[in-house]
Chain A
Amino acid sequence: MPPAPATAPFRKPIYTVSRRVKIIDRLSDLFIRLGGLGIIVIVTLIFVFIGLQTLPLFRPAQDKLLFAAQLPDTPAPERLLALGINEYESHLYYLDAAAGAIRFINTATKQTDRVVPLPTLQEHPAVSAYRSPARDKLIIGTADGRIVFATVSFKVDYGADNSRTVTASAQEIGRLEVDPEGKPLVQVHARMNNNGDFHFAAATADGRLFTGKFVEDEGGEAAPVPAQLVGRVNALAIDYEGNRFFVSTDQARLYQWYLDNDREKFFKSYELPSPITTMDFLIGDTALLFGFQDGKVESWFGVREQETDVLKPLHRIHIFEPLPAAVVKVQPSGRDKGFLAGGADGTVRLYFSTSERTLLNFKLGAGVRDLVYAPKLTALLALDTAREFQLHHVDNPHPEISFKALFGKVHYEGYDKPDYIWQSTGGTDDFEAKFNLVPLIIGTLKGAFYGLLFAIPIAVFAALYTSQFMHPSLRSVLKPTIEIMAALPSVVIGFLAGLWLAPLLEEIMVGVLLAGLAIPLVVFAFVCLWQLAPPSLRRRLPDGREFYLLVPLVIAGFMLAYWLGPQVDALCFKGNYKQWVFDTFGQQFEQRNSLVIGIAMGFAVIPIIFTISEDAFSNVPTSFKSASYALGASKWQTAWRVIMPTASPGVFSAIMIGFGRAVGETMIVLMATGNTPIMSFSPFNGMRTLSANIAVEIPEAPAEGTLYRVLFVAALLLFLLTFAVNTVAEVVRQRLRARYQAV
């Protein structure tokens, strides 16, 4: 018996793999894996990076306590007036009412650097003072009804090694006798206009009010404002033009004047739930900041209720997070729409008006006495009633942004109602930046909407015809043509739309709109006639080659519409459809309007929708069609009732992808619209889209500034929107493919 074939004896393989090949294989394996993963990581990085760039917008301000100390020679808190700090934060200063002098303290050594007595105050002691937040100017009310004006200045010298020496000085620049009765002026307020002229207001303890104007080197004058006030004056404010004047009393009354020429004519008084304890103007002198006895902090401004309003009635506009105790001080910033508020319990908060944000929040050891926001907004100085000074460093790069400021209705200064507005830059320093993305989002959707309105019918029906009815030999010519259409750069389409189509369309608008009707009519009429034609003629046009006849038919339809256009214009719109649009819709007709965008954007998305829908239609299994024909359905009935429903998810995903493209299209909208950010869906005006807005504004936006980051938010929105839309479309498509495979 032959031995059973045992397991084959171990044999050396006939070939070996050299170490070198093995190593190369390993290395390349690693390399390609790393490379591939790397690409995928980079792709994710795009999203992460853009997201990271936007994050700082929503971060609160950071502060760092530099020192908290009792400073030498500090007088009793009520004798310490008009606290200030210079832009280098090298010196802080205040008016020492007891000494009638301005005292400078070096913040580094925390020692008194200089004491500058003001001559007038030596005989007429100070009782109140106001410091202008943007400039180091002081206005001081005395115990005998005078007002003294003083200026504080800092001279900077740079040493050889770039070291900085700051020399502080102060000077009295004028005085005025305001109250003929010589009573103490317990409240003073003043603003300066661009020429440096003061408009000031003052009140005595017995409720008499004065306003006036003072020009350095020229002097000034004051006049009483006749008033019957209820309660004692708590706070007052006058704007830089000396027109708008506000007074509040401890009986919860607020009085408003418009002083222009007639001092008694425009007057209004308000009863409030709680007395205003402190007030001031935000930069720009439009909005008033009120601090209330019950801790509320609000900003109010005049809103025109009737066209003829001179004295615009005050309305509460922004409400901020209230303080736990009575507000004792609001201190506006000299550069932006931010301000500080301090409470009787020592709470200090930094708010921003437009965004209604609370950016900082800390507490002093005792009640707040005075607050100062440094001129460059890099520091803040607080003094409490226990005479402790605190100096904080502030890092507050993007105060104007909040979720509401980006996406909600905001009542901007100077507007009569809350609105969605995008206006990132303005001409003046006190401009309130309006970073509302809603008009841009609306513009984006509007552009995409009109684009799809034009593209969907053309693309989907063209795809249906191409896949179902067209002869294959013709199809192989036409499909690459459409692919070429997809490759046309959008800058070309945008250029033609803006410089050629827009003016042309303005001329023949009525005709073009009619073409939408005329072309189908002409084709329809032809089909009817065609049925009547002798069969011998009809047979000369084989199935699937209707296209040859359709091209001239469409041209004929268009020519008909072109010819009818002026007639219809004359008949329905008196030969001037633009006037008609204006009369009917109250809307100016813009040359670069949404219809131009619709056609241009439609042109750009037709090939995408066409290609993907055509794919979906041709991939419907042939058995469906055969079954339908077998049951006696006609070609169209089969296409419409069988093919179309089956392929509809594919058409849907085609439209979604087309929408994604339309949303992100930049050059077409940039070139073919006026790029005005408006909130309107009207076809007769233009729009500004998110993408065009980025292209227009990012070259001017300083890196890491607020505008720059807001534009990153816009980019992120676009990214997320298109990514989401495309993902949905892709998933739908894959499902559809699986369904076809199952059949």
Chain B
Amino acid sequence: MATPASKASSSSLTASGGIGRSLRRGEHLLWLSGSALALAFLLIAGLLVLVITSGAAHFWPHPLTMADRAGKPPVIGILTNEQEEKRDVEGNVLKTAQVQFKAGNRDLNGFDFVWVQAAELANFRTPPEIVALERQEYGDFYGFLDAVEHRGQVIAQGAEAWPALQREREGARALAAQARRLQKDDIGEVNMLMERERLRLRRAKLDGGAKINSAEAEAKLAAHHAEYERLRGESDRLAAQAAEYVAVMRSAEGQTKKVRLADIVRAFRPNQMTTTEKWGHYFSRAAEFVYGEPRESNTEGGVWPAIFGTVMMTIIMSIAVTPFGVIAAFYLREYARQGPVVRMVRIAINNLAGVPSIVFGVFGLGFFVYFIGGGIDRMFYPELLPTPTFGTGGILWASLTLALLTVPVVIVATEESIAAVPRGTREGSLALGASKFQTICNVVLPASVPGILTGVILAMARGAGEVAPLMITGVVKLAPELPIDGHWPLLHLDRKFMHLGFHIYDVGFQSPNIEAAKPMVYTTTLLLIVIIILLNLAAIRLRDRIRKKYQTGAF
């Protein structure tokens, strides 16, 4: 604090000067303690810069470099890393100079990334005609486009091949997408109806009475089955039609590879793209990242299901945590008799915020999943047993677990804002004849809404970033269905879900091809950090506004 005294002391220092004297007065220690703060600041700034640069660069179409290798076929790829030569004192080479390429073509080479001895490489160039294909499977393909074929017939070659590829790709993709839609939506619907019918039969059997006309049910099942076959055929036909268009590609090593146009997500020639085109490419991929489905065991494509799961879980959690947190806070502030007991309860609640999240996860698994969920299954879903419905991790249990985890945050924030409501306001209301509940409802609660909101936002931020308890109460690496869909009852609280935080852990640490997955993880990290920082900033802003309001608030 810049008190007058401190000013005086520092000016006296300036007057007398001298290193010895300033050391005695501890000037250097002051600076050193400041350097601790600078270091902390640099750590956080460095982390943010790292995540932003690595995460945001992922969508940029990097130029494809081609280089000759001594005695080996040339290599095409994106330059990703370099390593300098390292020797020990005796001059033994510990590490040689190497260059890392992202060479793509996983199906041909068996790997995406390759380290090449720098000494072998020569003649680096960026030929404009190199084509990059982003494929549905096997990652990227880098190479040259020779021709485009339809049913084995070459329809374009040489310079015409590229426009033909772009043109025909649209149609093939559309057909394939139609086939996929049939597969997923229509066939999925029929499957679900069949399953439902089967369950109805089973349940009737379990109940003991033959109240159900089994012949009728069988007929229904058969009808569904016929419908299923028809749709299958239709979808197969479309898929086959889409597969007739093929691009003939040639890799750096001279190998020919036929790629179905329907499998090409994007085709581009990065070495001759203009800046505008590059930005277009960038935003198209960024949009796919946000709205797309994951591909290639989550290492490519989008994270839409994870975003959806995170948001949905956070919302369910807030719905659960807000009323409980607020009621508990009102009880502690307005109803409970202030004394040692309430003080202890308050300490306990504060401490609960410090209990490791994994402990909540263990509780959620034991209590919600196995105890309550298992009970629900036995009572309401006996026909499905032993396959669990609620007796296994799901979005409801995960959200409730996080609600428990974040309830202290809401209680503390609400209590704080109730305490900030001036006593006079409350007494005024009582003096006017309002009952206690009326006062709370009409005076205290409205005044503390911003505080409650702050608490809820902070709870959401904490919940959105938590992973450990979710891992054991319902998050999965790939959920085939979102928790909301068009099937009755629309909201499926028993379903497992995907989560951005878990996505980071899973793709970064459990995927078979971590090197190729890294950029995707950085981008997901960036997205998660942005969400959480925005939530936190909102909470901080809100809190500051309340503080200001009540600091000046003279009621």
Q: Which A residues are closer than 8 A to B by beta carbons?
A: 15, 17, 21-22, 24-25, 28-29, 31-33, 35-37, 39-40, 42-43, 45-46, 49-50, 53, 457-462, 464-472, 478, 480-485, 487-496, 498-500, 519-520, 523-524, 526-528, 531-532, 535, 538-539, 543-544, 546-547, 550-551, 553-555, 557, 566, 570, 574-576, 603, 606, 610, 618, 622, 625-626, 629-630, 633-637, 639-640, 657, 660-661, 663-667, 670-671, 691, 694-695, 698-699, 703-704, 711-712, 715, 718-719, 722-723, 725-727, 730-731
Contact = CB atoms under 8 A, between A and B. Distances in A.
A32 B363 CA distance: 26
Interface string B358-390: 111111011100100000000000000000000
Q: Which DSSP category, helix, strand, loop or mixed, fits chain B's interface?
A: helix
B446 to A, nearest CB: 16
A554 B51 contact: no
Contacts of B212: none
A40 B328 contact: yes
Given A32-B330, A488-B532, A544-B2, A698 B362 contact: yes
Interface in B1-36: 1-3, 5-10, 13-14, 17-19, 22, 25-36
Interface stretch (B103-111, B298-306, B344-352): B344-352
A489 B355 contact: no
Contacts of A524: 28, 31-32
A663 B50 CA distance: 27
Contacts of A671: 505, 508-509
A547 B345 CA distance: 41
Contacts of A499: 508-509, 514, 518, 521
Contacts of A550: 31, 34-35, 37-38
B63 interface: no
Contact of A462 (B31, B40, B360): B40
A603 B43 contact: yes
B478 to A, nearest CB: 15
Given A32-B327, A695-B468, A527 B22 contact: yes
Contacts of A25: 435-438
B450 interface: no
A45 B1 CA distance: 46
A422 to B, nearest CB: 16
A531 B28 CA distance: 10
Nearest to B464: A489
Interface string B407-445: 100010000000000000000000001011110100000
Q: Which DSSP category, helix, strand, loop or mixed, fits chain A's interface?
A: helix
Given A543-B10, A640-B29, A699-B471, A459 B40 contact: yes
A639 B501 CA distance: 41
A457 B32 CA distance: 11
B51 A32 contact: no
A466 B518 contact: no
B1 A531 contact: no
Contacts of A22: 435
Given A629-B6, A712-B366, A551 B38 contact: yes
B336 interface: yes
10 contacts: A36-B332, A487-B462, A491-B465, A519-B39, A538-B14, A547-B34, A629-B8, A711-B362, A718-B355, A726-B351
Contacts of B468: 490, 666-667, 670, 691, 695
B324 A575 contact: no
Contacts of B433: 15, 17
A698 B521 contact: no
Nearest to A724: B351
Given A487-B536, A626-B3, A636-B29, A496 B355 contact: no
Contacts of A462: 33, 36-37, 39-40
Nearest to A716: B359
B42 A464 contact: no
B39 A666 contact: no
A520 B514 CA distance: 38
B89 interface: yes
B331 A36 contact: yes
Nearest to B521: A495
Point out which of B8, B27, B94, B356 has the most chain A C-beta atoms below 10 A from its C-beta.
B356
Tier of interface size on chain B: 35 or more
A495 B41 contact: no
A485 B518 CA distance: 23
B505 A546 contact: no
B30 A546 contact: yes
Contacts of A610: 40
Contacts of A640: 26, 29
Given A35-B327, A543-B6, A554-B39, 13 more contacts: A21-B435, A470-B37, A481-B44, A482-B44, A485-B43, A487-B532, A520-B35, A524-B28, A575-B87, A610-B40, A635-B9, A670-B505, A691-B468
Interface of B: 1-3, 5-10, 13-14, 17-19, 22, 25-44, 47, 50-51, 86-90, 94, 324-325, 327-328, 330-332, 334-336, 345, 347-352, 354-363, 365-367, 370, 404, 407, 411, 433, 435-438, 440, 461-462, 464-468, 471-472, 501-502, 504-505, 508-509, 514, 518, 521, 525, 528-529, 532-533, 536-537, 540
Contacts of B39: 458, 462, 519, 554
Contacts of B404: 42, 46
Nearest to B347: A730
Contacts, number: 360
A664 B363 CA distance: 15
B25 A637 contact: yes
B5 A630 contact: yes
B28 A528 contact: yes
B335 A715 contact: no
Nearest to B367: A49
Point out which of A53, A458, A459, A491 has the most chain B C-beta atoms below 10 A from its C-beta.
A491
A553 B348 contact: no
Given A17-B433, A17-B435, A523 B9 contact: no
B528 A492 contact: yes
Contacts of A471: 2
Contact of A491 (B90, B330, B437, B504): B504
A694 B361 CA distance: 9
Which 7 residue pairs across A and B have the least CB separation, nearest first? A36-B331, A664-B356, A489-B465, A636-B26, A575-B88, A629-B5, A461-B36
Given A471-B2, A636-B29, A691 B358 contact: yes
A546 B465 contact: no
A489 B467 contact: yes
A458 B40 contact: yes
Point out which of A481, A495, A498, A576 has the most chain B C-beta atoms below 10 A from its C-beta.
A495
A730 B41 CA distance: 27
Contact of B355 (A625, A629, A636, A722): A722
Contacts of B465: 487-492
B436 to A, nearest CB: 6
Contact of B37 (A547, A711, A730): A547
Contacts of A546: 30-31, 34
A298 to B, nearest CB: 38
Contact of B88 (A465, A576, A665): A576
A43 B38 contact: no
Contacts of B362: 50, 694, 698, 711-712, 715
Contact of A535 (B14, B32, B334): B14
A46 B363 contact: yes
Contacts of A457: 36
Given A634-B25, A727-B351, A461 B363 contact: no
A661 B462 CA distance: 14
B324 to A, nearest CB: 6
Nearest to B5: A629
A553 B35 contact: yes
Given A495-B505, A719-B359, A35 B328 contact: yes
Contacts of A636: 25-27, 29-30
Contacts of A547: 34, 37-38, 41
Nearest to A466: B37
